[in-house]
Chains A and B, each alone.
Chain A
Amino acid sequence: MSVFVIIYYTLLLGGSCLAAYFNKRSAFLLLFSLTLVSFVLGIIGGVPALKFVAVSAGLLAMAAMVSYGFREFLVAITSVNMAKELRTAPLTAGFGMFVIFTYAVAGIFAPVIAPFGEAEVIASAFAPADETMLLGADQLGRDMFSRIVYGARNTVALALAGTLLAFFLGALAGLLAATTGGYFDQFLGRMSDVIMSIPSLIFALLMLSIFGGDLANNTTSFWLLAGFAAVVGVLMVAAVSESSIIGWLIGLAVMAGVATVFAGFMLTIFNPSEVILVLVVAVIYSPRVFRLTRAVAGNVVVMDYIEAAKLRGERKWYLIRREILPNSTAPLVAEFGLEFCFVFLLIAGLSFLGLGIQPPTADWGSMVRENATLISFGELTPLIPAAAIALLTVAVNFVVDWMLYRSSGLKV
């Protein structure tokens, strides 16, 4: 029995007794079951196992404090209405918001935060950590910490772009299908059924096997981007101009211009293989967005105020913009968060397989793959980028959980 073990059990038992005395039932249950678990763990794993439990409990407590602090901070700086909502947020949501905020800062200010460039070779391969390199060097001698910071920018930006495109296409098609109905609705519905019946990772691999390699050049990706923008544009024009021929002509002309600008803009941000990745992801995930938007908008379309607006002679675009969208924001925002998680995990998985973001761009998925050999020497470093992926997904999920709870009234 070392001093540590004695203090450990004293704290746990004392805590549970206090909780029991003050009638805090859930705290007591938690503390006491932790004590019982510690008995078993202590017998099997000895002092190290107990130390592990103590460290994780400490980390959890710290995370809880940070989340509490961040939530209170948000409550203090936002407007009255927002603050009222935020006060109801559970600690997990506060933690999620804090993590998202940290990642955003790391991504936006990556060049300022990172001590070295993302492809800068500064040491020998797998050099251990020292004062200048916080986490050591990777397989080519690049600073691990800088690459993780840059990864926050590259990986997240790509996932965000993919989600946004999937959302534009899916939500627009869903809204249009809900307001139009008939064959158009049926056609889009069946098409999304087919795409969704192929597992997403498998579909992505199939598309990447075709558009990878030589095809990942500027011309192809420009035309693919322009084509994607054209599909979204035609849906948009169809919603805005309905059956007026002049409207269609003007709309199509504007759309062609916007599509070109969009494609050029995307190509200045991402390189061709990344553009293809974004488009593949957008095509795979837009049917899911379509389904949800179609369902949510379908419930709104049958309302009396929509009927009234139609009788007033309002057009489809007005209905979508002023009546349906404001009434379906909450589930759509939550869905955006969920989709982001899926897209992010898919891109990370593809990069891990060596088929996503290509070197030398710093990216978390491929960093895990490149440094995986270190694991067999018992090193933790290759797990850090993987943990970064997991942490962001968990954070977004926490926030989405809270929003879903709030919007759907799932109060069972």
Chain B
Amino acid sequence: MGDILGLVAKRLGLGLIILLIISVIIFFMVELLPGDIATAVLGQGATPENLAALRKEMGLDQPAIVRYFQWLSGAVVFDFGNSIVTGASVTETIGERFANTLFLATYAAAIAVPVSIVLGVIVALLRNSIFDRVANVATLTSISSPEFFLGYILILYLAVKTGMFPAIASLREGMDFGDLLHRTFLPALTLVLVVTAHMMRMTRASIINLLSSPYIEMARLKGTPPWKVIVKHALPNAWAPIINVVALNLAYLITGVVLVEVVFVYPGIGQALVDAVSKRDFPVVQAACLIFAATFILLNLAADVGAILTNPRLRHPK
């Protein structure tokens, strides 16, 4: 077990280093602005006194390095300073929205993961049949459509024409869980459609890859029944690629959520990020970007670690 822990720790360390570099990029890109945030906030017509006062208030009179470490030490304990536009604490504005986004992503994942793995395995078993081709075209179409296209189609047919689900996924205090699931069904379904297509294709590819390996052929030749070939011989080796596929697609879910939240006016962190970008509210942009990047890295890390845990060969790198 010791070597596995060591490997996992190594991966974690690598992830932390990448996150650190990303925080540097996110922080210092804003420094690229000619002038500084204060001039960006107050505009061209600001008097020098006003600028100086605002700089003092935001701590901009200190060198960038010092401010970077202040920002970073705040970020570690989830304190991202105050918004330029509203003056409210960024953590308060974003915190609840982040929870909403996580809820939506979990909802979508809970539907998408089982469905796509089962479908992927079925399609892999039926490969080169007409069903496989139809599934191929359907998933390709779903992947190629922008999220807002799928979202609006669902709104048009499931909300406007039939009225089965609300078109706008607004949340209130004190909604019961069933109501919550009903209200957020359409955004979750949009995400499910996109992610399922990705996951199905990747599951199919990895299973087919596996089924063409010699030991499966051997098992078939010695007369093992087909279901047993799958369950006893293929599946134990398929877990590694499947875990990888799932983690990678959950990472994809995290970014796909931005467009979907805007389409359904869902109060999540993606919408906060888009609003902040158009208002040029840099502390919020930085915080949201850092959170998204951290989640993305974490999920990629999970994919790596999962692959190592399920595939003994990766535990002993050459």
A residues sitting closer than 8 Å to B (CB atoms) are 26-27, 29-30, 92, 193-194, 197-203, 205-210, 212-215, 341, 345, 348-349, 352-355, 365, 368, 372, 375-378, 380, 382-383, 386-387, 389-390, 393-394, 396-398, 401, 412
6 A-B pairs besides A30-B130, A202-B273, A210-B30 with CB distance below 8 A are A27-B130, A30-B134, A212-B277, A215-B34, A349-B148, A375-B152
Q: Are B147 and A390 in contact (CB under 8 A)?
A: no
**B131 sits at the interface (CB 8 A):** yes
A-facing residues in B230-272 (Cβ within 8 Å): 251, 254-255, 258-259, 262
Answer yes or no: B212 CB below 8 A from chain A CBs. Answer: yes
With a CB–CB cut-off of 8 A, which chain B residues contact A203?
289
Contacting residues, chain A, for B147 (C-beta < 8 A): 349
Q: Is the CB of B278 within 8 A of A383?
A: no
Known contacts A209-B285, A375-B156, A397 near B146 by CB under 8 Å:
no
Chain B 130-173: CB-based contact to A (< 8 A → 1; otherwise 0): 11001001001101111111001101100011000001000000
The main secondary structure of chain B at its interface with chain A is: helix
CB of A194 within 8 A of CB of B21, answer yes
Q: Is the CB of A209 within 8 A of B141?
A: no
CA gap between A210 and B37 in the complex, in Å: 10
A198 touching B277, Cβ below 8 Å: no
Measured CB to CB, the closest approach of chain A to B271, in angstroms, equals 10
Report the separation of the CA atoms of residues A199 and B288 in the bound assembly, to the nearest whole angstrom.
Answer: 12
Pair A206/B285 contact, Cβ less than 8 Å: yes
**For residue A394, which residue of chain B has the nearest CB?**
B144
Contact A354 B156 (CB under 8 A): no
Q: How far is the CA of A380 from the CA of B160 in the complex (A)?
A: 11
Does B42 lie at the interface of the complex (its beta carbon under 8 Å from any beta carbon of A)?
no
Task: Confirm or deny: B76 has a beta carbon within 8 angstroms of a beta carbon on chain A.
Answer: no
Q: Enumerate chain A residues within 8 angstroms of B77, measured Cβ to Cβ.
A: none
- Known: A194-B25, A205-B273. Contact between A412 and B33, CB under 8 A? no
**A272–B224 CA distance with the chains assembled, in angstroms:** 66
CB distance from B121 to the nearest CB of A (A): 15
Binds A, one of B2-10, B290-298, B305-313: B290-298
Identity of the chain B residue whose Cβ is nearest the Cβ of A198 in the assembled complex: B293
Find chain A residues with CB under 8 A from B220 CB: none
Asked if A209 and B280 make an inter-chain contact with CB atoms under 8 angstroms apart, the answer reads yes
A386 to B289, CA, bound (A): 27
Write the nearest CB–CB distance from A91 to chain B, whole angstroms: 10
A–B Cβ pairs within 8 angstroms, 13 of them: A194-B25, A199-B292, A199-B293, A202-B288, A205-B274, A209-B282, A349-B147, A355-B277, A376-B167, A383-B152, A386-B148, A398-B140, A401-B140
B296–A208 contact, CB under 8 A? no
Most A C-beta atoms less than 10 A away, residue of B18, B144, B288: B144
Which interface residue of B161, B167, B259 has the most chain A CB atoms within 10 A?
B259
Whose C-beta in chain B lies nearest to the C-beta of A30?
B130
Across the interface, do A412 and B127 meet the contact criterion of CB distance under 8 Å? Answer: yes
Task: Tell me the minimal C-beta distance from A150 to chain B in angstroms.
Answer: 19
- How many chain B residues touch the partner (CB < 8 A)? 58
Task: Flag if B300 contacts A197 (CB, 8 Å).
Answer: yes
Q: A206: which B residues are within 8 A, CB to CB?
A: 26, 29, 277, 285, 289
Say whether B125 faces chain A, with CB atoms less than 8 Å apart.
no
B22 touches A412 (CB 8 A): no
Given A206-B29, A345-B146, A352-B148: A378 touches B296 (CB 8 Å cut-off):
no
A215 to B35, CA, bound (A): 11
Cβ < 8 Å to A, chain B residues 87-131 = 127, 129-131
A202 near B156: Cβ-Cβ < 8 Å? no
Give every chain B residue within 8 A of A197 (Cβ-Cβ): 18, 22, 293, 296-297, 300
Q: Closest 7 interchain pairs by CB? A: A393-B144, A386-B149, A390-B145, A26-B130, A199-B255, A209-B277, A394-B144
A-B pairs under 8 A by CB, number: 151
Residues of A within 8 A of B127 (CB): 412
> Can you name the residue of chain A whose Cβ is closest to the Cβ of B21?
A194
Given contacts A197-B296, A352-B146, contact A368 B285 (CB under 8 A): no
CB-contact partner of A393 in B145, B155, B212, under 8 A: B145
Contact flag A394-B156 (CB < 8 Å), given A201-B258, A205-B277, A386-B146: no
Given the known A-B contacts A205-B285, A383-B149, are A355 and B255 also in contact in the complex, defined by CB atoms under 8 Å? no
B276 interface hit (Cβ, 8 Å): yes
Contact A29 B129 (CB under 8 A): yes
Chain A facing B: main interface SS: helix
- The chain A residue with its CB closest to the CB of B148 is A352
Neighbouring B residues of A212 by C-beta, 8 Å: 277-278, 280
Please state if B292 and A202 are interface contacts (CB–CB under 8 Å).
yes
Question: Which residues in B have their C-beta under 8 angstroms from that of A353?
Answer: 258-259, 262, 274
**What chain A residues lie within 8 Å of B277 (beta carbons)?**
205-206, 208-209, 212, 355
Closest to B22 in A: A198
Min distance, Cβ B143 to any Cβ of chain A, angstroms: 7
CA distance A176 to B34 in the complex (A): 34
With A26-B129, A92-B137, A390-B149 as known contacts, state yes or no: A341 contacts B144, CB within 8 Å: yes
B229: chain A residues within 8 A (beta carbon): none
B278 touches A354 (CB 8 A): yes
- What residues on A are CB-neighbors of B141 within 8 Å? 390, 394
**In contact, A368 and B18 (Cβ under 8 angstroms):** no
Which residues of the partner chain A approach B161 to less than 8 Å between Cβ atoms? 378
Distance, CA A27 to CA B254, complexed state (A)? 40
Are B285 and A390 in contact, CB atoms less than 8 angstroms apart?
Answer: no
Taking the closest CB of chain A, its distance from the CB of B136, in whole angstroms, is 8
Do A355 and B259 form a contact, CB below 8 Å, given A205-B285, A378-B160?
A: no
* Residue in A208, A213, A341, A375 whose beta carbon sits within 8 Å of that of B155 in the complex: A375
B175 at the interface (CB under 8 A from A): no
Please name all residues of chain B whose beta carbon is closer than 8 Å to the beta carbon of A30 when the two chains form the complex. Answer: 130, 134
Chain B positions within 8 Å of A341 at CB level: 144
Chain B 52-66 residues near chain A, CB threshold 8 A:
none
A386-B147 Cα distance, complex, nearest whole Å? 10
Q: Is B208 an interface residue (CB 8 A)?
A: yes
B32 contacts A by Cβ under 8 Å = yes
Assembled-state Cα–Cα distance A376/B265 (Å): 14
Q: Which residues of A contact B282 (CB under 8 A)?
A: 209
Closest to A90 in B: B133
Q: Closest Cβ of chain B: how far from A393's Cβ, in Å?
A: 4
A209 touches B33 (CB 8 A): no
Residues of B within 8 A of A382 (CB): 152
How far is B293's CA from A401's CA once the two chains are assembled, in angstroms?
Answer: 31
Nearest A-chain residue to B128, judged by Cβ: A412
Judging by beta carbons under 8 Å apart, are A390 and B276 in contact? no
Contacts of B40 in A (CB 8 A): 213-214
